[in-house]
Amino acid sequence: MTLRKWTSLLLLSCLAACQQTAPSNEQQSSTPLIQGVNFVEQVVAKPEKIVIPYKKYVLDNGLTVILHQDNSDPLVHLDVTYHVGSAREQVGKSGFAHFFEHMMFQGSENVGDEQHFKIVTEAGGQLNGTTNSDRTNYYETVPANQLEKVLWLEADRMGFLLDAVTQEKFEVQRETVKNERGQNYDNRPYGLLRERVAEALYPAGHPYSWQTIGYLEDLDRVNVNDLKAFFLRWYGPNNATITIGGDIDEAQTLALVKKYFASIPRGPEVAMPEKLPVTLDSDRYISMEDNVHLPLLYISFPTVHGRHQDEAALDVLSSILGGSKTSLLYKNLVKNQLAVQASVNHPCAELACSFNLLALPHPASGKSLADLEHIIRQTLVEFEQRGVEDDDLVKVKAQMEANMIFGLQSVSGKVSTLAAYQTFTGDANYIAQDVARYNQVTKADVMRVFNQYIKGQHSVIMSVVPKGQLALVAAKDNFTPPARQIAPTSEIAKEDVEVRKAKDNFDRSVMPKVPVNKAVDVPKMWQHTMANGIKVLGSQSTETPTTSMLIKIPAGHYYEMPEKAGLVSLLADMLNESTTKRSAEDMSQALQKLGSSVSISAGTQYLNVNINSLTKNLMPTLALVYEKLLSPAFINSEFARNKSNAIQGVINSKKDASYLASAAYRRLLHQDNIAALPVGGTEISLANISLEDVKAFYQQQVKPFNSQLIVVSDLPEQQMMTAIELFKSWQGKGRELQLTLPLPDTKAGVIYLVNKDQAAQSAIRIGKRSMKQDIVGEFYKSNLMNFILGGAFNSHINLNLREDKGYTYGAGSSFRGNKFSGQFFAGAEVRADVTDKSLVELLKEISNYAQHGISDSELEFMRSAINQNDALKYETPRAKLSFLAQILEHDLTPDFVKTRSKIVASISKQEINALAKKHLNIDEMFIVVVGDAKTLTPQLKALGYSVINYEI
């Protein structure tokens, strides 16, 4: 729900313009035309060119239809994009577009309340909706046989929604939106930054001067009929594009689109909004106190608008200044430990873009926000003197090529690309033009946009400081946004809302029947063990020329001593730094020029190396990976910087309620062992770690024996094995993990209360220790049992707290585990004023389910939802990688999938209910609440619980 970067996944340097057929006669489409459906164009695949082939049509009511056939997997992705976002709202009526994203899931004339999620989930699919400043989209990915059903759902909410929008639903979703704002804005450190900057950057009344989430007072001011009027203005078929991709029959799909959408009447005509240049007459200094640990400086320059001819050059400029370890801001602020973080970006939306520079000072540096502002401005001078280098352009273009190709690995990626281009340019095949403008950027272009939009130009300078520390601001505030001028309007009455009605020759109240699901094959795989003990599992995927790889080294968090928790995380940081052969900056530059990404991170049991590369660049990429793993430099200054930043990150995280809740819950679950501590460590344990500790652990544990290498590539088995031969020279064996995690003596039936002053929301966690993870045993069956309680959107817990009460943005429960321990967990982030009520409802749902169990209809829902989603499990290389990793981790054969399917199909109501009684005993669980202790303590004690103040 934020401003999106238009080009993030849409660029490819080798792309050339596709030849399109002219839209003049039916013979140009191989799909027979239907009356009322007008053929527009066809784009076809071409040898050695990467395009997204499609056919485009327009119905007589103005609905644009784009069909992309891809039979590689038995699934379809459907996207309905409405060209309306928060930029189409009026002053005083902000948040309407986002509000309607919520309302569109609340049932329509022929679809019952809460049934969108239930129907799609039961079909084995996934769905959601998103809103930003310029568009709203709704999407589903489902098995191919479910296409007609989701077309029926989308058509019903496009043409038959308003009669089902009741005052009661309106009130509940208004509360849900408030909870979303609380969770993502008001209760999050720096959460109001963008709202405050936008108010200062844009003129009063500019459609980007408010956030997509809107203002609470605006939501409180309006009634349900205001919302209906907004829908009627913007959600007509002539302001929408429906894009369907996947395993489809084009003629049949077109006929179904006509059946369900053609009779929906047009809405009012929609004109493109005017793109007004944004200028500032002086620097605007603003500030805000927040519940944060570190102050933050944010400088924002207004620039152009999305797809402006200068956007691409400004993107290149942002990369040079703050896009990676090779950037100038990194060198001038982060590398020398003056800041814990510094970055630059240039987000663009339909009407405007902004060039943003951000920095958080390191406390040990003694630098103020004013100092950071001076360094940033000196960095701009340095850039002007340095100019643009050849590698700057090479890196950006290589990364865009890679981003584009990886973005086309899924049907949803291709469909989303087509939908966005159609919505914002009117040309779904705009991709060639988009690529060309980046490929054509020159050094002179970058210098020109720097001089035009940044050098000597005015900006908004925002200081965010800890509460009570306004003296830390970069400069005294010199700008106050003018008060919003909200014109008085009369309340819209029900009779003033004239609903457009469709006339059909079929009964829309009957949900379409679907054919039998197509069988889904488990990916074919191959397996080897290298002489040095690396276990290799791979699969070939030929849809894109890419290779994705995961190396898991048995050297994770569980190998650490509790007093030095975070050691592996620091080791991962060091492996991402310099090697003995090249600096961190040179390594970053080498990878960027290949368009490759390599990230090393710590997990509980493994040190994980994630690699993504275009296959044509795989060999040089793997050579760099090998260098990272075998030749780390372990430079003192780099260690000091990473250790210090890690400590500051932990301290800063304690301002976040969710972090505090998770930390308290983890500690109470395990108490005095390594599992009680976060993978990243605590400020105390991190302070105990020396560079010699990291080196010693590396020498002991970063070895190939029993490591796992999982790969999905378009290369066949033999070529892939040849590609990884360089790892054969890596030798050694680390110590085996010997770990027991005894049960804690944490008190059950009490509330552990963690204080967070004046928290807008409270975080609740309920749970206990439970089973270790298994694949086809009681742990797996218990998660099937939990699916109805808290494992799906339509679960008891979420429907109660979110959809019925409006207490939260989302709530749920699950069984979690690994080889060493397990847990049952339930929780939510809730409005502060209903913390006690939310806790009562959570406990009630768990107890009721333990007592009464699952119903017959719920059991069938669970079976259908779990056993019909196989098509989504293996679609992308990333999904295949996760699947293969599971097989290797647990020493499975692919037959485990069939075994699980049989369990789902055969598990009885009696077994489900017995598991619920066994594992959901509230008396065995403890409770963690994070919120304002002064307010919550008497409320929680009034519930009859003992309340223990708990510190993190």
d(CA 288, CA 342): 19
pLDDT of residue 126: 95
Q: Which fold has domain 751-883+893-949?
A: Cytochrome Bc1 Complex; Chain A, domain 1 (3.30.830)
Residue 904 in contact with residue 784, Cβ under 8 Å? yes
Q: Which residues contact 582 (CB under 8 A, 6 or more apart)?
A: 590, 627
535-540: strand order across its sheet:
526-529, 535-540, 708-713, 546-553, 607-614, 597-602
The dihedrals phi and psi of 801, each to the nearest 5 degrees, come to: -75, -35
Superfamily name and number for 526-663+670-729: Metalloenzyme, LuxS/M16 peptidase-like (3.30.830.10)
d(CA 334, CA 642): 10
Give the type of residue at 250: E
Neighbours of 604 (CB within 10 A): 15
Tokens of 173: 């979703």
d(CA 284, CA 373): 13
d(CA 412, CA 659): 32
Give the type of residue at 901: S
Tokens of 885: 């990793």
pLDDT digits (tens, 9 = 90+) for 323-378: 889 999 999 999 999 999 999 999 999 999 999 999 999 999 999 999 999 999 99
d(CA 663, CA 557): 15
**Residue (of 869, 906, 783) closest to 120 by Cα position:** 869
Residue 75 in contact with residue 144, Cβ under 8 Å? yes
d(CA 908, CA 915): 11
pLDDT of residue 408: 87
Alpha helices for 409-465 (secondary structure H): 411-425, 431-439, 443-449
**Residue (of 686, 684, 732, 674) closest to 705 by Cα position:** 732
Three-class SS of 91-157: CCCCCHHHHHHHHCCCCECCECCCHHHHHHHHCCCEEEEEECCCCEEEEEEEEHHHHHHHHHHHHHH
87-111 in b/e form (b: 16+ CB < 10 A) is: bbbebbbbbbbbbbbbbbbbbbbbb
pLDDT digits (tens, 9 = 90+) for 476-502: 999 999 988 887 766 676 666 777 888
pLDDT of residue 395: 92
d(CA 553, CA 313): 41
Alpha helices for 558-714 (secondary structure H): 567-575, 584-594, 618-630, 636-653, 657-670, 683-687, 691-701
**Alpha carbon of 557 to those of 576, 659, 675: distances in Å?**
17, 18, 8
Question: DSSP string covering 704-739, please?
Answer: STT-EEEEEESS-HHHHHHHTGGGGG----PPPP--
What residues in the chain have per-residue pLDDT under 50?
A: 1-27
d(CA 633, CA 12): 35
Tokens of 654: 């304690």
Q: Which residues contact 642 (CB under 8 A, 6 or more apart)?
A: 570, 573, 574, 577
Domains 526-663+670-729 and 751-883+893-949 share a fold: yes
The full set of domain ranges for the chain reads 284-472, 526-663+670-729, 751-883+893-949
Residue 554 in contact with residue 605, Cβ under 8 Å? yes
SS3 593: helix
Q: Which residues contact 76 (CB under 8 A, 6 or more apart)?
A: 141, 142, 143, 144, 146, 147, 150, 244, 245, 246, 247, 248, 411
Bridge partner list, 548: 612, 712
d(CA 611, CA 710): 10
pLDDT digits (tens, 9 = 90+) for 926-938: 999 999 999 999 9
How many residues are listed for the chain in this entry?
952
**Residue (of 304, 478, 320) closest to 384 by Cα position:** 320
**Residue (of 767, 741, 736, 739) closest to 752 by Cα position:** 767
Q: Beta 354-361 vs 535-540: how paired, if at all?
A: unpaired
DSSP structural state of residue 243: E
Query: What CATH number does the domain located at 284-472 have?
Result: 3.30.830.10
